[in-house]
Homo-oligomer: A and B are copies of this chain.
Amino acid sequence: METVYITRREHFNAAHKLWREDWSDEKNEAVFGKCSNKNWHGHNFELFVTVKGAPSPETGFVINLKDLSVIIKNLVIEQLDHKNLNLDVPFLEGKLASTENLIIEIWKIIEAPIGEAGGQLCKIRLVETENNFVEYFGRKEPY
């Protein structure tokens, strides 16, 4: 059995800030720098979702990319695109809106539906700017 990894890219544009209510302005500024601007800032986020599996002898597919795209769009992009990560997103409530926290929550949301669609979620990459991105492999640590 041969395992192939297939990746789908989707994107969303969102506002956020890195800010703790229980910290002074000075401490927020010291830790989060420009990202603590009270009136928000934003990004074009790119989301790469990787699913692994053996290609189906019937279709040649690990997973039908149309299905994968629908899962990501319906469950994630709909909730994040043109939204404020701090104010508009139920699954981030009470969490700091860092890309690290965001990628973990996205994993939790799409892991089961991708499994039901016949694939196995194995990696997410979330790109915030051309200079930084995060990756998450669930409980695995490949390196």
Interface residues of chain A, those whose CB is within 8 Å of chain B, are: 2-11, 13-16, 18, 31-35, 37, 39-44, 50, 52, 55, 59-62, 64-66, 81-84, 87-88, 95-101, 103-104, 122-123, 129-137, 139-143
Interface centre among A9, A31, A84 (most CB of B within 10 A): A84
Q: Is the interface of A mostly helix, strand, loop or mixed?
A: mixed
- Contact partners of A96 in chain B: CB under 8 A: 59-60
Oligomeric state, in copies: 6
Whether the Cβ atoms of A100 and B61 lie closer than 8 Å is: yes
Contact A42 B14 (CB under 8 A): yes
A31 to chain B, nearest CB (A): 6
Measured CB to CB, the closest approach of chain B to A2, in angstroms, equals 6
Q: A18-B60, A60-B96, A61-B98 are in contact. Are A42 and B39 (CB under 8 A)?
A: no
Which residues does chain B contribute within 8 Å of A137, judged by CB atoms? 3, 5, 143
CA distance A34 to B77 in the complex (A): 12
Q: Which of B8, B41, B62, B139 contacts A100 (CB 8 A)?
A: B62
With A7-B135, A59-B98 known as contacts, the answer to whether A33 contacts B66 (CB < 8 A) is yes
